[in-house]
């Protein structure tokens, strides 16, 4: 019998990472639309490698600084942009490789851990950013949205995102959700959207 330790824990954010690990390749392009402390940005940088492109966006200066030092510490690099993700196309287009769109886009909603809890993602700007993300995705590209409902406004934003995802046309997108059925304390859930290739 194998003595290798099992370490997999069921978590929404972990499931997002598993999907992207399977789908991203060295040289790909990825966007982190809520970079926060830079953990997802660093994860994306490792997957796409030096020949790939990662563009990280956050509305807060503090998050951009935290992401910068996080990825620098790990010898990684990405384009860092301070701005609201509802303006995603104009923010990222100067950094997208010629003629390319994104193979992965990550959203991790809510507030910056250990930061200002009054700066949170908001339903209206989140939905606008998600609509833009669909146009920025490559065929087979994956959009992940980690949804936190435990803070003020989080439940309303979470149900708006659920409804948004349930209404995406099935000919163009596959949508799955991954959520706990038995946990107290409002754990995050994940929505993942894959853009289908145009049918020939």
What's the per-residue H, E or C state across the chain? CCCCCCCCCCCHHHHHHHHHHHHCCCCCEEEECCCCCCHHHHHHHHHHCCCCEEEEEECCHHHHHHHHHHHHHCCCCCEEEECCHHHHHHHHHHHCCCCCCEEEEEEECCECCCCCCCCECCHHHHHHHHHHHHHHEEEEEEEEEEECCCCCCHHHHHHHHHHHHHCCCCCCEEEEEECCCCCCCCCCEEEEEEECCCCC
- Closer by beta carbon to ligand SAM, 111 or else 178: 111
Stretch of 3-11, 21-29, 110-118, 166-174 lying at the interface with ligand SAM (CB under 6 A):
110-118
Closest residue to ligand SAM, Cβ-based? 36
| Nearest to 183, CA basis, from 9, 40, 34, 36 | 9
Encoding tokens for residue 101?
């769109």
Q: How far is the CB of 113 from ligand SAM (least distance, A)?
A: 6
| 57 lines the binding site for ligand SAM (CB under 6 A) | yes
| 160 lines the binding site for ligand SAM (CB under 6 A) | no
Query: Residue from 17, 23, 46, 60 that binds ligand SAM (CB under 6 A)?
Result: 60
Residues numbered 129 to 158 that lie near ligand SAM (CB under 6 A) are: none
Stretch of 16-24, 38-46, 150-158, 170-178 lying at the interface with ligand SAM (CB under 6 A):
38-46
| 110 lines the binding site for ligand SAM (CB under 6 A) | yes
| 40 lines the binding site for ligand SAM (CB under 6 A) | yes
| 186 lines the binding site for ligand SAM (CB under 6 A) | no
Stretch of 22-30, 44-52, 118-126, 167-175 lying at the interface with ligand SAM (CB under 6 A):
118-126
Residues that bind ligand SAM (CB under 6 A): 34-40, 57-60, 63, 84-85, 108, 110-112, 119-121, 125
């Amino acid at each position: 019998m194998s003595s290798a330790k099992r370490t997999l824990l069921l978590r929404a954010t972990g499931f997002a990472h598993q999907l992207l690990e399977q789908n991203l390749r060295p040289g790909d392009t990825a966007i982190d639309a809520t970079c926060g402390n830079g953990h997802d940005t660093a994860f994306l940088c490792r997957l796409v490698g030096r020949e790939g492109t990662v563009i990280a966006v956050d509305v807060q200066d503090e998050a951009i600084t935290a992401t910068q030092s996080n990825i620098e510490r790990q010898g990684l690099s990405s384009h860092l942009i301070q701005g609201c993700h509802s303006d995603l196309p104009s923010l990222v287009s100067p950094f997208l490789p010629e003629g390319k769109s994104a193979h992965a886009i990550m959203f991790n909603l809510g507030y910056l851990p250990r930061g200002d809890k009054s700066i949170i993602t908001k339903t209206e700007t989140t939905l606008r950013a998600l609509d833009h993300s669909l146009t920025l995705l490559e065929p087979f590209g994956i959009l992940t949205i980690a949804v936190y409902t435990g803070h003020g406004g989080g439940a309303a934003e979470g149900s708006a995102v659920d409804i948004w995802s349930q209404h995406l046309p099935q000919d163009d997108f596959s949508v799955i959700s991954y959520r706990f059925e038995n946990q107290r304390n409002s754990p995050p859930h994940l929505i993942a959207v894959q853009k289908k290739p145009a049918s020939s």
